[in-house]
Amino acid sequence: MNRPLFAWALAPLFFLLGGCYTFSGISIDPNVKTINVRYVENRAPIVAPTLSPIFTQKLKDRITGQTGLTLTNSEEADLDMNGQITNYDVSVTAVQNTQTATRNRLSITVNIVYTSRKNEKDNFTQSFTRFEDFPAEQSVQTAETQLIPKISDALVEDIFNRAFANW
């Protein structure tokens, strides 16, 4: 087959597939320009010192990187997002010989309050929970350095989708 003809024959397919991957699914009122993302405090019974700053920054980065909204500290922002880390828990998920833990699970729950001053039907208050398992022989402190960013990414994804993709 002639190469230029073959390329033209595949062009519509690439256009369609490219559109699927570039479509973000984000739904933001065009009148919405600013968002106040407040510091997400850790109110869990167990407090990991790095969790709140890591999580808050990841949330801000995701919103500014994918929405075009401007971050502000103003109480008059079009959107307001605040929340608290309400649970931080390490539990055993797998046991060997009914006595020895082989896998542990780090779970994090964040409660988010999202307020739109432009469209009240978009407002929500919701808890989001994510977890990751790790080997029981690994210390919690070592696991935290790897898992807090990973779990934070998953939580931010869930929150972002709920707020801006109407999930």
Query: Could you report the per-residue pLDDT of 23-42, keeping only the tens digit for each?
Result: 357 888 889 999 999 999 99
Give the pLDDT score at 4.
52
**Does residue 6 belong to any structural domain of this protein?**
no
**Does residue 22 belong to any structural domain of this protein?**
no
Q: Does residue 5 carry a pLDDT above 60?
A: no
Tell me which residue range forms the domain holding 115: 27-164
**Does residue 10 belong to any structural domain of this protein?**
no
Distance CA 40, CA 94 (A): 31
- How many domains, in total, are found in the chain? 1
**Does residue 67 belong to any structural domain of this protein?**
yes
**Bridge partner residues of 41 (DSSP):** 84
Which are the contacts of 80, defined by CB distance < 8 A and separation ≥ 6? 35, 36, 38, 113, 114, 115, 117
**Bridge partner residues of 116 (DSSP):** 79
Give the pLDDT score at 76.
94
Give the pLDDT score at 2.
53
**Does residue 16 belong to any structural domain of this protein?**
no
Distance CA 63, CA 132 (A): 24
**Does residue 123 belong to any structural domain of this protein?**
yes
**Does residue 130 belong to any structural domain of this protein?**
yes
**Does residue 105 belong to any structural domain of this protein?**
yes
User: What pTM did the predictor assign?
Assistant: 0.81
Mean pLDDT of the chain: 85
CATH of the domain at 66: 3.30.160.150
The per-residue pLDDT for range 98-127, each reduced to its tens digit, is 666 788 999 999 999 999 999 999 999 999
Length of the chain: 167
